[in-house]
Amino acid sequence: DQQVKQNSPSLSVQEGRISILNCDYTNSMFDYFLWYKKYPAEGPTFLISISSIKDKNEDGRFTVFLNKSAKHLSLHIVPSQPGDSAVYFCAASADYGQNFVFGPGTRLSVLP
């Protein structure tokens, strides 16, 4: 049973528009969430994180929202750029970040 779900395997967005990537989780013990970006043939790179004590964290064009009651988080990219095209993984941790569970990923394509 997947504890971290990303139900959209792919997403296409026009350059300049908003990209919204969604992530749902089932384990109520998760208290720290991260988004990673992965380009082909590279390792995942950390993008942004959020702790369960917050409901929003912003870093430049990237904002992550957390809805604990719905066990849902989302990553907003505004404005989207072609260089944002990559696979985005949602990850969750329940043990002071010692063990991360990854979602299956969403492939984002930003069209010029």
Q: Which of residues 22-61 bind other proteins (CB under 8 A)?
A: 32, 34, 36, 41-46, 49, 51
> Counting contacts by CB under 8 A, is residue 103 touching other proteins?
yes
Rounded to 5°, the CA angle 87-92-21 comes to 40
Question: Quick one: 74 or 100, whose CB is closer to other proteins?
Answer: 100
Question: Quick one: 77 or 90, whose CB is closer to other proteins?
Answer: 90
Number of residues counted as binding other proteins (CB under 8 A): 22
